[in-house]
Structure 1
Amino acid sequence: MKIFRASFEQSRVIEDDQFLKWMINDVEQPNHEDKPFLMVLLGLGMLYGIYLLPVFAQYLINDNSEESLILLPEINLLPSWLAIGEIVAFISFWLISAFLRRRYNSLFWRHMNVNMLVLLLMLEFNLILLMFIQKEWGLFGVLTSIALLLGVSIVLVKLKLGNLRLMIYGTDDKPKITTKIVRYTFYIIGLIIILFVVCGELLSRNSDRLDGIIMILLMFIALNMMTLMLESFFEIPYILLNFYKYKYSEKYRIAEGKTPREWYGPRHLK
């Protein structure tokens, strides 16, 4: 991809991205004091949450309360083996990041580890919400929700990459249809929401239950839109900048006026 073939001088333009500036100020704070004990507690707490959510999902399956405002799911989309697989995947990612970590990118990899835990938790929350959507709207509702989620993800990523290409090269070589795609994607999302609400109102005899259905749908949309926008507009430029810091490590070290010991750390000096 052209976005990964910029020269050192071109790559430095990425630092002008306004979202990236906020990201760096937030993650790489001046006079940052390491608190490894708190980071370990945070990581263990999030891993425990990843392990517990499948238990909650199974509880929803087994709960036969007739007072529930919505139909409880019957199909468990979040089995315990999935949580175990996620934990194994995170540990593998953490080990790889430990191998790649240098002093100049240690905060980046620490942030990536936390970000991966957040994404794994988001995946599990989504699966639980899809369990309710499947019960109310069947397979069509689940597939439609996933398709819309993938569509919005692709659009937002393309939008941000196009913006970064424009910054780096002064031109975006992709067709100028991104704005229209974004607009029509949100039109489709709005239409689907309206159809779900209308169909639910026609089919439901219990207004409280309908309110519960709408709340789940709004939670699904809000949760994913917030996550997708944060990942697209903040994480992508941050990852790209650190890719170039790795690719042009010595040039960035010289440009930032760091000694080899300050840049790489004493453990990685040859």
Structure 2
Amino acid sequence: MKQKNIMTASFEKSLNLSDDNFIKYMIEDTKERKIFNGKSKIGVTLISIFLIGILYVLAIFSTKGIETPFKDSPVPQPTINFLPIWLFGILLIVWFAFWGYSSSKSYLNEKMFANFFNAHNFLIWIVIEANLLFLTFFLKSLTIIGIIILFGYTILISKKQSLEKQLFNIKSETNKVDNTMHKIIHYMLKYGWLIILLWIVWKFIFPNTDGARTDMMGFIGIVAMWIAIDIGFIVLEAYLFLPYLLYGYYRYKYPEEYRDWEGKTQIEWYGEKYFNKHIKGTEKEEKIND
């Protein structure tokens, strides 16, 4: 028997995803955010241009670090540039290709997922560049990357298995890793604001603690931040982004089934512009009996 995976579920099985609490949270959250619901196109454009500029600066910074050593740096001068400017250009083209494809294929009720998909790809681009930049300057810390990869593999495989069980109603022993991460995410979503508040209070009381350090403690702090960012991204990817995008994928794969399930007309589901261009006058158009 061919092994089932998370991309091959039937419409009926895909409905099991609608019971996932994290997916429900993401749907409600993205509905309210103008960056995803399409109500702030100018703002999204300006943010995108600004972030692309930042990513370009990172590539320049990495190149400069090879050509000119930084004064008082706690690490040896790097010899291999893992983030050349040409790589930035390739990543930019890839992002635009995904953006163009998803924008042209999405309809009204899929726009929110498509917008999140593009933002998600932007986040991946940022993480890739950040890691390549760190790798350029901290090449001798390669063992850290191994730890991150191992941790990430464990988390992602655990969540993939959890989604397969949810989609196909597979009964099995409790996944301890998955349950533990669910609890952590729930606490992060519930008490994350408290951490931010404590940080603000700390900066108010000790305003002079933000100076950059170039000694060994500064080195350790940067490496620790690198690990924390990567692990945080892996957890968010596995428990928030992946399930949400998977649900969007099935809504795109079974549009008519989900439309009927939600009780919407084709114009309400696809939007008038998409309906007139792709549905009206074709065999996909729903015939209404008089």
Bin the TM-score by the shorter chain: 0.7 to 0.9
> 1:259 and 2:274 equivalent?
no
Q: What aligned pairs does 1:1-270 form with structure 2 within 5 A after superposition?
A: 1-29=4-32, 34-134=39-139, 137=140, 141-142=141-142, 144-171=143-170, 179=177, 209-269=215-275, 270=279
* Secondary structure of the corresponding residue to residue 215 of structure 2: helix
Task: Give the superposition deviation at 1:222.
Answer: 0.4
Q: Do the aligned partners of 2:158 and 2:175 also contact (CA within 8 Å) in 1?
A: no
CA distance in 2, matches of 1:72, 1:43: 32
Give 2:81's aligned amino acid: N
* Secondary structure of the corresponding residue to residue 147 of structure 1: helix
CA distance in 1, matches of 2:106, 2:175: 39
Pair 176,133 (structure 1): closer, same or farther in 2 beyond 3 Å: farther
CA distance in 2, matches of 1:77, 1:61: 10
Task: Give the superposition deviation at 1:255.
Answer: 1.4
Q: Do the aligned partners of 2:55 and 2:88 also contact (CA within 8 Å) in 1?
A: yes
- In structure 1, list runs of 5 or more residues that go unmatched: 184-206
Task: Give TM-score, length-normalised by structure 2.
Answer: 0.74
- In structure 2, list runs of 5 or more residues that go unmatched: 182-212, 280-290
Q: Which protein is richer in helix relative to its size?
A: 1
Identity %: 28
Q: Residue by residue, what CA displacement relative to the aligned partner does 1:83-136 show, whole Å, maximum 9, x if unpaired? A: 0001111111111112211111111111111111111111111111112221xx
**Cα RMSD for the two superposed structures:** 2.7
Task: Give the superposition deviation at 1:208.
Answer: 6.4
Aligned length: 239
Task: Give TM-score, length-normalised by structure 1.
Answer: 0.79
Q: Do the aligned partners of 2:72 and 2:214 also contact (CA within 8 Å) in 1?
A: no
CA distance in 2, matches of 1:171, 1:244: 19
CA distance in 1, matches of 2:164, 2:25: 20
